[in-house]
């Protein structure tokens, strides 16, 4: 049986099933292991991990602790309540924006690559080259936020470092827009998102692209990148306080367990807290050679749980409404047994988006693509509901093939 317990309840002899943290937070080679020493427990607590999942069939039990299923049911109910609140969406049609988004994605990724190369050579960042890209991303978000965000869900291990920065910029711009922030603040936040990982240019490639967990020494080197990035950006006088703050503090956490300054609640700026949520969300949903990305829905559940200690709870909930429980480009299984791709969120219920269905799993055949509005009843273009997100790799499908149908 799996149970969720507070880290203060840990004892040697317990079997860790899940450390309940993002993969870059914990100092262990494995996610699942038998606790064999007090030193391991100390490492868990020092890493800012507040609760863990234990497997009682493989180690010691804790009486009266809730089962993992019970805690998931509680989280699910909270997410349903959040998802039922209105979300403002401004857009042109998805099809109209996809071609422009593809060009922006390519240009932005190339720019980040150039910025990293310049940083390695000790050159100052040329903001005149960066600004137009941030402006193009912002304009795309204004036209249809789902197009570029949907495209950026697909990354490979070779372009992850660059596309991650583009994704953080895009998501942060959308987040600012959804919170009603003014255009200049939104632009500055986008600039910070695009440049937030500049310090990784100084991390050796064999560490940055290591196909496995990092050692303590390698993790210490990785943790230098916010300060290194901040120092690099200081060489460019045009970079303002918001991008500098986001670059330096996007790994800070409200409980003081983050880095580099171990800032706590009340000292981390609003935009740095927003950037922290965006950064983690994009990282844990991406496939890496040593880390299988989780679905957007599962990632948002994790962020909601971690917001008790690491993230601002209100910002976390607002981010959920911004990206949606099932963002554009998510492949889902419907109750009818049909596979589909989310193409448009519903304005008041994030659990009932529009979906393009294309495959019948019960008959194991492709079907003519059809748009299903899950907010509508049977006979009016709906009458179905999402059972779970699905992995495109499992079905050998590129969701982008079906994202603009209908």
CATH number of the domain enclosing 121: 1.10.3210.10
Least confident of 71-80, 129-138, 140-149: 71-80
| C-alpha torsion 156→32→6→388, nearest 10 | 50
349 assigned to some structural domain: yes
Listed residues 292, 323, 354: the one ending a domain: 323
174 assigned to some structural domain: yes
194 and 255 share a domain?
yes
Residues facing 357 on adjacent strands: 340, 370
Distance CA 391, CA 386 (A): 14
76 assigned to some structural domain: no
The pLDDT of residue 325 is: 85
393 assigned to some structural domain: yes
What backbone phi and psi angles, to 5 degrees, belong to 269? -65, 160
337 and 275 share a domain?
no
**Domain containing 390: what range?**
331-401
Bond before 260 cis per omega within 30 degrees: yes
Distance CA 117, CA 11 (A): 47
Listed residues 306, 323, 340: the one ending a domain: 323
Tokens of 203: 């991390």
Handedness of CA 350, 327, 226, 20 (dihedral sign): positive
Count of the separate structural domains present in the chain: 3
Q: What is the largest CA-CA distance in the chain?
A: 63
8 and 113 share a domain?
no
pLDDT tier, 287 (very low <50, low <70, confident <90, very high otherwise):
confident
287 and 338 share a domain?
no
396 and 263 share a domain?
no
Distance CA 351, CA 386 (A): 8
For the chain, percent of residues with pLDDT exceeding 70: 93
Listed residues 268, 288, 323: the one ending a domain: 323
For the entire predicted model, the pTM comes to 0.86
The pLDDT of residue 215 is: 84
- Would you say residue 307 has pLDDT above 60? yes
247 and 295 share a domain?
yes
156 and 56 share a domain?
no
**Collapsed DSSP state (helix, strand, coil) of residue 99:** helix
Among the listed residues 3, 33, 37, 4, the one whose alpha carbon sits nearest the alpha carbon of residue 16: 33
- Would you say residue 23 has pLDDT above 60? no
Contact predicate 50/7, CB 8 Å: yes
238 and 344 share a domain?
no
82 assigned to some structural domain: no
153 and 48 share a domain?
no
pLDDT tier, 153 (very low <50, low <70, confident <90, very high otherwise):
confident
Q: What's the mean per-residue pLDDT of the chain?
A: 89
Query: Which are the contacts of 341, defined by CB distance < 8 A and separation ≥ 6?
Result: 329, 330, 331, 332, 355, 356, 358, 399, 402, 403
Say if residue 220 is exposed, middle or buried (CB neighbours under 10 Å; 0-12, 13-18, 19+). Answer: exposed
71 assigned to some structural domain: no
CA angle 336, 342, 343 (to 5 degrees): 130
- Would you say residue 406 has pLDDT above 50? no
342 and 315 share a domain?
no
């Amino acid at each position: 049986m799996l149970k969720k317990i507070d880290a203060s309840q840990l004892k040697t002899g317990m079997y860790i099933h899940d450390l309940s943290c993002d993969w870059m937070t914990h100092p262990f080679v494995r996610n699942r292991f038998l606790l064999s020493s007090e030193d391991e427990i100390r490492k868990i607590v020092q890493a800012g991990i507040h609760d863990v999942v234990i497997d009682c069939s493989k180690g010691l039990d804790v009486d009266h602790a809730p089962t993992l299923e019970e805690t998931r049911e509680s989280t699910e109910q909270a997410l349903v309540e959040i998802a039922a609140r209105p979300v403002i969406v401004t857009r042109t049609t998805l099809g109209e924006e996809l071609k422009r988004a593809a060009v922006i994605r390519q240009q932005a990724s190339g720019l980040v690559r150039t910025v990293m190369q310049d940083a390695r050579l000790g050159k100052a960042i040329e903001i005149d080259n960066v600004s137009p890209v941030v402006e193009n991303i912002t304009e795309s978000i204004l036209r249809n936020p789902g197009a570029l965000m949907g495209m950026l869900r697909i990354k490979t291990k070779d372009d992850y470092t660059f596309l991650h920065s583009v994704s953080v910029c895009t998501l942060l711009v959308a987040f600012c827009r959804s919170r009603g922030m003014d255009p200049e603040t939104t632009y500055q936040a986008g600039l910070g998102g695009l440049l937030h990982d500049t310090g990784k240019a100084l991390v050796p490639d064999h560490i940055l692209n290591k196909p496995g967990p990092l050692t303590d020494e390698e993790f210490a080197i990785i943790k230098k990148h916010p300060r290194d990035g901040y120092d690099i950006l200081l060489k460019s006088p045009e970079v303002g306080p918001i991008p500098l703050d986001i670059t330096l503090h996007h790994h800070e956490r409200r409980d003081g367990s983050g880095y580099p300054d171990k800032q706590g609640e009340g000292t981390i700026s609003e935009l740095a807290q927003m950037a922290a949520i965006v950064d983690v969300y994009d990282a844990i949903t991406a496939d890496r050679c040593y880390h299988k990305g989780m679905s957007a829905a599962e990632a948002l559940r994790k962020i909601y749980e971690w917001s008790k200690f690491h993230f601002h709870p209100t910002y976390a909930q607002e981010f959920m409404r911004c990206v949606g429980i099932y963002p554009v480009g998510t492949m889902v299984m419907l109750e009818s047994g049909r596979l589909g791709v989310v193409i448009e969120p519903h304005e008041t219920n994030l659990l009932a988006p529009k979906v393009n269905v294309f495959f019948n799993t019960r008959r194991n055949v492709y079907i003519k693509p059809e748009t299903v509005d899950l907010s509508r009843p049977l006979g009016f273009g709906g009458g179905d509901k999402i059972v779970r997100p699905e992995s495109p790799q499992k079905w050998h499908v590129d969701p982008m093939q079906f994202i603009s149908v209908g």
